[in-house]
Each structure stands twice: as structure tokens, then as C-alpha cells.
Amino acid sequence: MEVLQYVAIGLTAAVLVGVVKVHRPEMAVLLSLAAGVILFSLVLGKIGAVIDVLRELSFKAGINMVYLGTILKIVGIAYIAEFGAQICRDTGEGAVAAKIEFAAKVLIMVLAVPIIVAVLQSLLKLLPL
């Protein structure tokens, strides 16, 4: 029951944020940031195990490793960007959060371009030109 551990960390952090926020709002932001980082990094090891399984499966299926690598990179960018954007939104900086998300979208688009090109090329091969 590892869930209990994570829930306990989250609840403790929430209570402490509530205590600190009254006097020192800026310390409360750092506290919630630390709680988020700790929870995230605790779960990250499990995600790594899942990704190893995915990599093995794609190797057995004979999929080009470039594609899986790109997809994993996109997932990683999405995780990090979402994390930062949520912290910014917590502090009330919705505008900064929107910019972080925009930057992540642009980076993901850049990473996805080779895959789109590959799809178009295989489409062109099918067309009887």
C-alpha cells in the first residue's frame, strides 16, 4: 500500500502550507513546490519501469527506436511543462503558466515533425504517381 505513503506526504504538506501561508505566503509556495517535486520523483521510478517494458515490446515488434524515443521525449516534455505550469498557476501567475505550456507545445511540435514527414513519405509511396 504505497498509496498511503504518498497520500500522507500530500496531506502533511497541505496542512503545513495552510499553517505557513498565513504569515509567509512566499514560503508556502516553496513548500508546495517541494511537496510536488518529492511526490513526482517518488512516482517517476515506477514510470521508468513501465517505459522499460514499452521499449522491450517495441524492440520485439521491430519498431524503429527513433519513433519510440520521440514519443518518450514528448511525454517527458509534457510532464515537466505541466508540473511547472501548475506551480505557476498555484502562485497566481496564470500568464506565466500559459507561456510555459505554449513553449512546451512548440517543442513537442518540433519533435513531431520527423514523424509527420515519415507518415507523408510512406503515403507518397502508396500513391500511384
Partner 1 sequence: MVGGIDLILKIAGVGILVAVLHTILKNAGKDEQGVVVTLAGIAIVFIWVIQLLGSLFEQVKSVFKLF
The site for partner 1 (CB under 8 A) is made up of 8-9, 12-13, 16, 19-20, 23-24, 26-28, 30-31, 33-35, 37-38, 40-42, 44, 47-48, 51, 69, 72-73, 75-77, 79-80
- Number of residues assigned to the chain: 129
DSSP labels, 77-96: HHHHHHHHHHHHHHTT-HHH
Q: How far is the CB of 127 from partner 1 (least distance, A)?
A: 34
Q: How far is the CB of 122 from partner 1 (least distance, A)?
A: 25
Of the two residues 37 and 120, which places its CB atom closer to partner 1 in the complex?
37
Of the two residues 22 and 129, which places its CB atom closer to partner 1 in the complex?
22
Q: How far is the CB of 117 from partner 1 (least distance, A)?
A: 21
The whole-angstrom separation of Cα 124 and Cα 111 is: 21
Output the nine-digit C-alpha cell for 70. Answer: 520521440
23 phi and psi angles, rounded to 5 deg: -95, -45
Of the two residues 16 and 112, which places its CB atom closer to partner 1 in the complex?
16
Closest by CA to 69, choosing from 61, 59, 60, 79, is 59
Of the two residues 46 and 99, which places its CB atom closer to partner 1 in the complex?
46
Cβ-contact 45, 93 below 8 angstroms: no
